[in-house]
Amino acid sequence: MSLTFYYAPMSTASTVHWSLEELGVPYEGVRVDLSSSQDKAEKLGPVNPNLKVPVLVHEGVPRRYSVRAKSRWVRRTPRS
């Protein structure tokens, strides 16, 4: 399973981050500097036109919906 997690510390991405860590889901983390327009454009532009975190890219498909839905989705995703 390939999973990439776009996040920023102290943001709405935190609950998803905790879910991934607590469940031991393997993922690649991409830290985004929300104070930098350039960093947001470079990292989030290709996966979320709203330039917001969190974003989970699962098998190449970005999931951008609410933090709560993402946490629920992470809990349901089988771990390898």
Ligand X SMILES: N[C@@H](CCC(=O)N[C@@H](CS)C(=O)NCC(=O)O)C(=O)O
Question: Which parts of this chain interact with ligand X (CB under 6 A)?
Answer: 11-12, 34, 51-54, 66-67
Which residue's CB is nearer to ligand X, number 30 or number 34? 34
DSSP state of 65: S
What tokens were used for 23? 């469940």
The minimum distance between CB 64 and ligand X, in angstroms, equals 7
The minimum distance between CB 12 and ligand X, in angstroms, equals 4
Q: Find out whether 54 and 10 touch, Cβ atoms under 8 Å.
A: no
Q: Find out whether 63 and 73 touch, Cβ atoms under 8 Å.
A: yes
The minimum distance between CB 8 and ligand X, in angstroms, equals 6
